[in-house]
A = this chain, B = another copy of it.
Amino acid sequence: MNARLLASVTFLLLSCGACLAAPAPPAPAEASSAAARLRDSALAGTQAFEFVRSLTTEVGPRSAGSPGDAAAVAWATAKLEALGFANVHAEKVTVPHWERGRNEGAILAPWPQRVALTALGGSAATPPSGLDAEVVGVATLDDLKKLDPGKAKGKIVFVWNRMERFRDGSGYRTAVAVRGTGAAEAAKLGAVGLLIRSVGTDSNRLPHTGSMQLDKGVPPVPAAAISGPDSDVLEQELRSGQAVRFHLDLETKTFPDAESANVIGEIPGRGAPGEIVLLGGHLDSWDLGTGAIDDGAGCAIVVEAARRIGRLPEGERPRRTIRVVLFANEEFGLSGAKAYALAHEKELPSHVLAGEADFGSGRVYRVGTRIAPSALPAFKTLAEVVAPLGIEIDPANDAEGGADISPLAPAGVPVVSFDQDGTTYFDVHHSANDTADKIDPKDLDQAVAAWSALIYSVAASDVKLGPAPAPKEPE
């Protein structure tokens, strides 16, 4: 190769990495047709469920810092490679490492009963042989805050509030507050332990765990969630008017921080590869189940949506890069999300849109946004492709976009949310019942249809969606 030719090739490579081998990005009409085909072909069947089955079988539980966490990073890296993603790599993330150990409990009096319970994530341990104390019951976190310290001192506080079931999962936001701060509030009153009715909508004897806040000034007391049916029995015993005594034994342990990783793979853009559409899921799960709906399903949806876009004929491949990020440790402090925002800080202005699938395997019924208001008409046009899936557009323009997306908010990254039917999500969320059999593969396919069609439309376009307004509530 002579010097002149070499210079020409170098110029071409630098100015347009993908131009040599490929035609220009698709025109709007071509893009619209490709998006519709992505949508319809996904409805005919995808590999999304197989992704979840593989993850839940070959890895299973994968809480931050556990052996399963490391196995998941290795599995995901190999899987993205095998699925044909480009630039597959793991970005190191430091994560907390808390282990549950043995969690047991029983009502001792007036009527002895075993109780199915599990420690809240991050809970302190009880003394090695457990603790025995009288129970004082209250309905809500507000009632707990108002409790006379004389009635709580030396006791275990039990909060029996029930979560309500809604399609959008909005019962969670109110019900979960006691899980976050109840143990610190109980500690302020001189209580020795906290029991809550599981934050869940099922009636199985499988308690639901979830993180508690550890930085509330007062060191929180040991705290556990009781299954719904066991909460019923404890309520009944309290209603007898007799003193109720409880044995609580939590063998929890906090270890030094551990190493995990965000696993990343890309479908490189052909025209504007530096513009990034970020699709997220989180790779970690709680330890009780195999993390099928939380968040194997979300990872499967975004990986499969991106994979299908990447397999389009060369002429239809989108101009922007689609980056899939499988975040580390969402459950116990958003470690991966924070690390990503920090490591990619300079690149965030080039994130043209971001969204996370982290609400199970139900069908998408609505798409929400938080984008520049001036961009809403253009987005609405791009989103027409998902209308045949029965999906409406939420006009509120105040979407959160997923917990792992929230650290990108200060940079004004535009956000999309694919709102899934969560009617049964909290039946199994954070419990041992979070397993692959809970997923209907056809529902996953519908979500893949929605994500792949709309994300493709955005990635194939040059529509500018940012900067996004600040979220309504600081995350």
Q: How far is the CB of A371 from chain B (nearest CB, A)?
A: 39
Whether A228 contacts B116 by the Cβ 8 Å rule is no
Contact A236 B53 (CB under 8 A): yes
Q: Which residues of B contact A290 (CB under 8 A)?
A: 113, 233
**Cα distance, A205 to B433, chains bound together (Å):** 6
* Residue from the list B58, B112, B232 in contact with A436, Cβ < 8 A: B232
A289 to chain B: closest residue by CB:
B205
Which partner residue on chain B sits nearest A231 by CB separation? B437
Complex copy number for this chain: 2
**A57's contact among B59, B237, B432, B435, by CB below 8 Å, is which?**
B237
A105 close to B (CB within 8 Å): no
Is A338 in contact with chain B by the CB < 8 A criterion? no
Whether, in the assembled complex, A204 has its beta carbon less than 8 Å from a beta carbon of chain B, the answer is: yes
Q: Which residues of B contact A206 (CB under 8 A)?
A: 204-206
- A89 an interface residue at 8 Å Cβ cutoff? no
Interface-centre pick from A59, A229, A233 (highest chain B CB count, 10 A): A229
Give complex CA distance A58, B110 in Å: 8
Distance A130 CA – B321 CA, assembled complex (angstroms): 53
Contact flags (1/0) for A82-125 with B, using CB distance below 8 Å?
00000000000000000000000000000111101000000000
* A112: chain B residues within 8 A (beta carbon): 60
Question: Does the CB pair B236–A57 fall under 8 Å?
Answer: yes
Which of B58, B60, B205, B289 has a CB less than 8 Å from the CB of A435?
B205
| Count class of interface residues, chain A | 20 to 34
Q: Is A438 located at the chain interface by the 8 A CB criterion? A: yes
Q: How far is the CA of A210 from the CA of B203 in the complex (A)?
A: 22
A413-455 interface mask toward B, CB cutoff 8 Å, 1 = contact, 0 = none? 0000000000000000000110111100000000000000000
Residues of B within 8 Å of A437, CB to CB, are 203, 228-229, 232
The smallest beta-carbon distance between A53 and chain B, in angstroms, is 7
A56 CB-CB contact with B under 8 Å: yes
Residues of chain B with a CB closer than 8 A to A114's CB:
60-61
User: Known: A204-B206, A205-B206, A237-B57. Is A232-B111 also a contact (CB below 8 A)?
Assistant: no
Instruction: Report the separation of the CA atoms of residues A229 and B436 in the bound assembly, to the nearest whole angstrom.
Output: 8
CA distance A265 to B272 in the complex (A): 84
Contact B233 A111 (CB under 8 A): no
Cβ B57 vs Cβ A229 within 8 A: no
How far, in angstroms, from A111 to B74 measured CA to CA in the complex?
Answer: 14
> Which are the 9 A-B pairs with shortest beta-carbon distances?
A229-B435, A57-B236, A205-B432, A60-B113, A203-B437, A58-B111, A229-B437, A204-B204, A232-B437
Beyond A60-B113, A113-B290, A204-B433, 19 additional contacts (C-beta under 8 Å) are: A53-B236, A57-B111, A57-B237, A58-B111, A59-B111, A60-B114, A60-B233, A61-B114, A116-B432, A203-B433, A203-B435, A204-B204, A204-B206, A205-B433, A205-B435, A206-B206, A228-B437, A232-B436, A233-B436
A interface with B by C-beta (< 8 Å): 53, 56-61, 111-114, 116, 203-206, 228-229, 232-233, 236-237, 289-290, 432-433, 435-438
Please, could you name 8 A-B residue pairs with CB atoms under 8 Å apart, sorted by A? Answer: A56-B233, A57-B111, A203-B435, A204-B206, A204-B433, A229-B433, A232-B435, A233-B290
